[in-house]
Structure 1
């Protein structure tokens, strides 16, 4: 809801309230003047004697009564019971019919209507504290319905006991039902308008809180709700609906609603002004004021419900109201420069609060119990004005917070964008540096690989040169050395080709087997069977020892296992299998074998065992009926 709409609604509310309120007051006075109790014979009064409660006794002793205008009670009137007597005579025959005998604020009233011979025509009970079961179906808590015939004299006796602590007001009015309804109609119309406006605002505040989750909406909702209950509790409908058989409890709760509204307004002030932050001293004083209101509310409820001393409770509430006026006046004078433009709307609402509380204090001091019939309407009017002003302030504050949040978000986004750009630039520089380092490392690795390859090729060429110079004499050691050098050259070549720290095991084995076959068995007279999976990879630390082991085994088989003419269908079998315990490599030939291996004398077998230990494995050798080697390796794959 926009501020200009709220101001417009507030202006219309004021105009309507003043218009209907003025009409109601004028109509009320006009109808009060048109009452038979005001215009006929004087009203007489006497104080009840303790042992005499029968209406016939007071009818038979007219000397006990005196005129109401001259009556002075010997004791406090709120502690005693009084009898009022009135003679009624309708001279015009057109006046026969039902009449409403109404009164204000009296707690217990008993009506006795007698004819001229002393016969009781009607006897009924009413009063604000009467239970619903004690009331006649036609009567209410504040009125009787009686039938009067014209040209017939009546004597009306009213037994009155007022227990609210105030002196009773004997403002009885005898009216026609139409005049009574006119009087009630104007007042009820204002109540309906005010209560409808309060209900609409409560719904708006509830939806606004659900959307924004702004805490001050909760306190203003509670403030308006409790004020609504307070003004509604001053009406008889509240008692008839919620407390029909315990009216005193309902009337005792009215002041509790008012105090709860005061507590809600205090909490609203704390939340809306952020009072704990801007003024810790006033924050503590506000908490003390809330504690005072809580204690006052508890005391007044007990005092009203248990002792029916509403006058004393009202005096305490008037004192608390003065404290509220002084505290909030001093609070906003002191904090005016510390609060922003939106928070100052709370000051504008407090101005209405101070005016309303001051008027209520004045009415309570001057009119006393008569002020009840005006308090409800005035409270509803001022509370609606206060609520509308507060909603303007809250809406503007939320709007400001939204703008500040958007600005803060944009600032954060810009800062984060700048930080991300700076981080991206740094990452780009680091990426360039890493690329340069990678290029340098690749260059070094290529150089190292090239040198390793050249060195191994040099050693291999030297072996070939030695073989060509010396012919076939003593060529076996040189050939074995060339085979080993070739195995290392093969591993280096495969690593450079794969550009990785791992290489495929089947390629390594196949290349090694093919090379040694070309060197030692170019005519392929010896059958070789190889069983290795294609998917297995081995690391650099494993590939060189494993290639040297295979080279040694094949070289030994080619050299010693198959002498010419001694073995039919020579064959070699090599397998590498993986299981759950590790890796098993098996090498077998069907050569001549030996009775027992000589590890210390054979350089090749010793080299095989050393290389096996290097890759954390074990080897078992069986030389009978051809050599058989069983390697148990620790998960080299």
Structure 2
């Protein structure tokens, strides 16, 4: 009872003590720890807690002055904690070294971020950065991923960040450490991009050599994944579109979907889904359509509405469909495909696992897991390209083995066929040789027979010539003797042709030049009145005419030469004869017979109608598809235009 009375008397004092404790706790709660930098080389991270205070500006209307005058910070994030909201972040940095320090700040990164530093004189240092920040709006030496500021020695600075999105983790380091890390990161990026480029070039070269479509789709996949990493690491915007970052960022998703599309086409082509697995071919065609729609929707969400969060959620959920189907296909086809395609299916599963890790990481990019995303997707992509290349390589080697085996079998078949053909050719050759011997013997007999025929014809014609010669001696009148002499000369002309064919190996044609010379001599020898003559032969070709052509030309020349002896003898009994042969461009021949005698007593037309010899010459010329003409110029000139056997056949056709 005594204790109760004492407690009642001191109730006011107890409540006072509790109030003081609560006030002290409140002041301690709102107190912010100062981050001390005591070395010129430093590298540390800061996240939400006693050293970093965060406040969500749900109105998006507060200024730095509002934040300084009425600090809204406490240990918990104030506001609805929206992932795309506007936040103010505060931390205090103290430089305890003996020199001023250049501090590089990374993190607290959103689509638009801004750093404020309260200086000793009350002025405010400002630096902008963020994904949407143009290069022209950055301070010298800053980038869209980092900002730099100066910490005076021995001074504590309040640093404020205004960010658009939940980015509550920041990295701070000195400039030397930053340059070292940046160089290492660039080397790693260069190695990755170089590897992607090598895969692209290698795949295109292989495609150019083998025309194997999976190589083309592999190049498409490697290019898409490489350009996706190129965009994620900000090189695409920084190098190509530095003052249009929004436009540049819109390429990030299409590049990844371009690579994804290459992977789907690669699967269709390499696994031969259309021919071997029609159901899965239809499934992958559907995935291709889904990829195109996903890309189109993503571009609209980012380019038109700039809603990257919704685009990311949409992509992640739709990609899960692809991943689920990849796993189902793995179990469905594993026992139905050979080794190379099993390796490819493993690559698809790794692709799916990489997408899961990358997608989940991208979903939380605002909590500084972008590095995990980059290296997960980059290394995963390289592993996938490598596995796909190994699968294609195995398939190509299998194809090479199958081709070599088929070629070996084909060579065996060809060898057997060649051997069979050689035997057949040898047998056929023997038959041909036997037939050739038979034909040669037959030809020799025929040739001998023809020569015998020509010889007998020549003898018969000579017999006729002798009979005509005897008849000429017994003729009672001069006219009958001349008629018999002309007939005899015609028989001699034909006899000489058969004599030529009998003397030569060629029983089908005769040397016309030699024949003409002998014919002129023979005609001169059978003339009753012997005269001195001179024969000139001017041929621009050396023809061999067939039997029909030679007989016709021989009879024509016989009439013309006989006519020269009959009508064209000069006063001193010296006869000059010129025979010219010319092959025209149209294939016809011109044969000219000139002498130095007097002109004919009648016109050419009258002579061809009245005289038997010129009438016979004219008709024989027409049989040779030619013509006979006459002119006089210090001598008689007869021109014969004719066609040989080959030309006559074309004229008849």
- Tell me, in whole angstroms, the C-alpha distance in 2 between the residues paired with 1:293 and 1:41: 45
SS at match of 1:245: coil
Bigger drift between 424-433 and 528-537 goes to 424-433
8 Å CA contact 2:47, 2:169 repeated in 1: no
Bigger drift between 614-623 and 258-267 goes to 614-623
- Tell me, in whole angstroms, the C-alpha distance in 2 between the residues paired with 1:458 and 1:42: 141
Q: 1:287 to 1:528 in 2, by over 3 A?
A: farther
The match for 2:320 among 297, 322, 333 is 322
Matched, 1:506 2:548: no
Q: 1:335 to 1:511 in 2, by over 3 A?
A: farther
Displacement of 1:38 after TM fit?
5.9
8 Å CA contact 1:98, 1:145 repeated in 2: yes
Matched, 1:248 2:246: yes
Displacement of 1:457 after TM fit?
1.3
SS at match of 1:586: strand
Matched, 1:457 2:459: yes
Displacement of 1:381 after TM fit?
1.1
Matched, 1:615 2:619: no
Displacement of 1:447 after TM fit?
1.0
Structure 2 match to 1:630: 638
For each residue in 1:31-63, what CA deviation from the matched residue of structure 2 results, as whole angstroms up to 9, or x when unmatched?
99955666745624242546x53322232224x
Q: Name the Cα RMSD after superposition.
A: 4.5
Q: 1:540 to 1:149 in 2, by over 3 A?
A: same
Q: 1:101 to 1:390 in 2, by over 3 A?
A: closer
SS at match of 1:454: helix
8 Å CA contact 2:101, 2:151 repeated in 1: yes
Q: How does 1:64-75 map to 2 (within 5 A)?
A: 64-69=72-77, 71-73=78-80
Displacement of 1:507 after TM fit?
1.8
Q: 1:378 to 1:512 in 2, by over 3 A?
A: same
8 Å CA contact 2:501, 2:508 repeated in 1: yes
- Tell me, in whole angstroms, the C-alpha distance in 2 between the residues paired with 1:174 and 1:515: 129
- Tell me, in whole angstroms, the C-alpha distance in 1 between the residues paired with 2:221 and 2:559: 99
Structure 2 match to 1:130: 133
- Tell me, in whole angstroms, the C-alpha distance in 1 between the residues paired with 2:631 and 2:355: 115
Displacement of 1:460 after TM fit?
3.2
- Tell me, in whole angstroms, the C-alpha distance in 2 between the residues paired with 1:46 and 1:336: 53
Q: 1:296 to 1:489 in 2, by over 3 A?
A: same
SS at match of 1:307: coil
Matched, 1:45 2:55: yes
8 Å CA contact 1:273, 1:343 repeated in 2: yes
The match for 2:446 among 444, 447, 453 is 444
Count of aligned pairs: 587
Displacement of 1:232 after TM fit?
2.8
Displacement of 1:186 after TM fit?
6.9
Structure 1 match to 2:548: 541
- Tell me, in whole angstroms, the C-alpha distance in 2 between the residues paired with 1:450 and 1:438: 18
Consecutive unaligned residues in structure 2, runs of 5 or more? 1-40, 646-653
Displacement of 1:277 after TM fit?
3.9
SS at match of 1:532: strand
Q: 1:178 to 1:478 in 2, by over 3 A?
A: closer
Displacement of 1:386 after TM fit?
1.7
- Tell me, in whole angstroms, the C-alpha distance in 2 between the residues paired with 1:606 and 1:440: 42
Q: 1:510 to 1:82 in 2, by over 3 A?
A: closer
For each residue in 1:196-236, what CA deviation from the matched residue of structure 2 results, as whole angstroms up to 9, or x when unmatched?
54344445445555655544333322322221221232224
Q: 1:520 to 1:374 in 2, by over 3 A?
A: same
Q: 1:456 to 1:354 in 2, by over 3 A?
A: same
8 Å CA contact 2:457, 2:495 repeated in 1: no
The match for 2:490 among 484, 488, 491 is 484
Consecutive unaligned residues in structure 1, runs of 5 or more? 1-30, 163-167
- Tell me, in whole angstroms, the C-alpha distance in 1 between the residues paired with 2:623 and 2:593: 18
8 Å CA contact 1:567, 1:592 repeated in 2: no
Displacement of 1:378 after TM fit?
0.9
SS at match of 1:106: coil
8 Å CA contact 1:101, 1:144 repeated in 2: yes
- Tell me, in whole angstroms, the C-alpha distance in 1 between the residues paired with 2:145 and 2:564: 129
- Tell me, in whole angstroms, the C-alpha distance in 2 between the residues paired with 1:134 and 1:589: 116
